[in-house]
């Protein structure tokens, strides 16, 4: 199943321009419809979202080094 970039942006909480960049660099599988609009493969979005969630779940430098907890950035 394919979905529009607008629908994907709403679903995954990202800007459509971010999805366009991911398409252009090959991180998302997509094709243009007859009107020239991108349609993104739902499976590709799911894989990308899982990898995005894994990266964000990694502990930060502050969590790994308690002595840095008081340092503000």
pLDDT tens column, 9-29:
999 999 999 999 999 999 999
CATH label of the domain that carries residue 52: 1.10.1660.10
SS3 61: helix
Torsion sign, CA atoms 5, 41, 25, 33 = negative
Half-sphere exposure of 8 (CA within 13 A, CB side): 28
pLDDT tens column, 25-73:
999 999 999 999 999 999 999 999 999 877 766 665 555 555 555 555 4
Instruction: Note whether residue 48 is domain-resident.
Output: yes
The pTM assigned to this predicted structure is 0.71
Q: How far is CA 60 from the centre of its chain?
A: 19
Expressed as residue numbers, the domain containing 39 is 2-64
| CA–CA gap between residue 30 and residue 20 (Å, rounded) | 9
Please give the tally of structural domains in the chain.
Answer: 1
């Amino acid at each position: 199943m394919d979905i529009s970039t607008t629908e994907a942006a709403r679903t995954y909480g990202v800007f459509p321009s971010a999805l366009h960049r991911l398409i252009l660099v090959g991180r998302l599988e997509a094709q243009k419809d007859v009107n020239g609009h991108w349609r993104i493969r739902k499976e590709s979005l799911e894989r990308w979202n899982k990898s995005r969630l894994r990266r964000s779940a990694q502990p930060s430098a502050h969590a790994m080094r308690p002595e840095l907890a008081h340092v503000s950035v």
